[in-house]
């Protein structure tokens, strides 16, 4: 049985391996999100002002971490959807194939390197 690949023969991308990596990322992210939810719920108010300020600061950091984890989870899930739809590996901006090396390093990538560089410059 032949594996479905994207890219040239010098650097093929095995989609089932990518799917497995994304699924593993999804599991880890869900575990971290659950941990952060528990941490956020564990903050209690304390009448001491310095403790309140420190608690507020820590809660803000945890909230930012939680938002980042949720964003990463969304990117991973969108990549899995693209795999299912057969659009995985194509740049969402120009439609050109994303280099396999880029996808292996960052399986949830949605832009080719050229479009990513243009985005970062603007």
In a domain, 96, yes or no: no
CA dist 51 and 40 (Å) reads 16
In a domain, 122, yes or no: no
Q: What are the residue ranges of helices labelled H in the chain?
A: 15-41, 49-85, 100-105, 113-121
Domain housing 23: 13-89
- For 100-122, the DSSP string reads HHHHHH-TT--S-HHHHHHHHH-
Residue 107 lies in a domain: no
> What confidence tens digit (pLDDT) does each residue in 38-92 have?
877 765 555 566 677 777 788 888 889 999 999 999 999 999 999 999 999 999 9
Residue 8 domain-assigned (yes or no) = no
| Cα atoms in the Cβ-side hemisphere of radius 13 Å centred on 99 | 9
| Sign of the Cα pseudo-torsion (105, 110, 112, 115, in order) | negative
What does pTM read for this prediction?
A: 0.77
Asked whether residue 77 is assigned to any structural domain, the reply reads yes
For residue 99, is it within any domain? no
Q: Which two tokens stand for residue 68?
A: 């980042």
Q: Please give the tally of structural domains in the chain.
A: 1
> What is residue 54's DSSP assignment?
H
């Amino acid at each position: 049985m032949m594996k479905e690949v994207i890219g040239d023969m010098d650097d093929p991308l095995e989609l089932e391996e990518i799917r497995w990596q994304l699924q593993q990322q999804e599991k880890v992210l869900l575990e971290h999100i659950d941990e952060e939810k528990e941490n956020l719920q564990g903050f209690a108010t304390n009448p001491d002002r310095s403790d309140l300020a420190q608690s507020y600061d820590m809660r803000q950091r945890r909230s930012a971490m939680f938002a980042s984890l949720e964003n990463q989870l969304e990117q991973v899930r969108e990549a899995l959807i693209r795999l299912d739809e057969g659009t995985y590996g194509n740049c969402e901006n120009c439609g050109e194939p994303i280099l396999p090396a880029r996808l292996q390093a960052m399986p949830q990538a949605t832009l080719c390197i050229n479009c990513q560089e243009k985005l970062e410059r603007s």
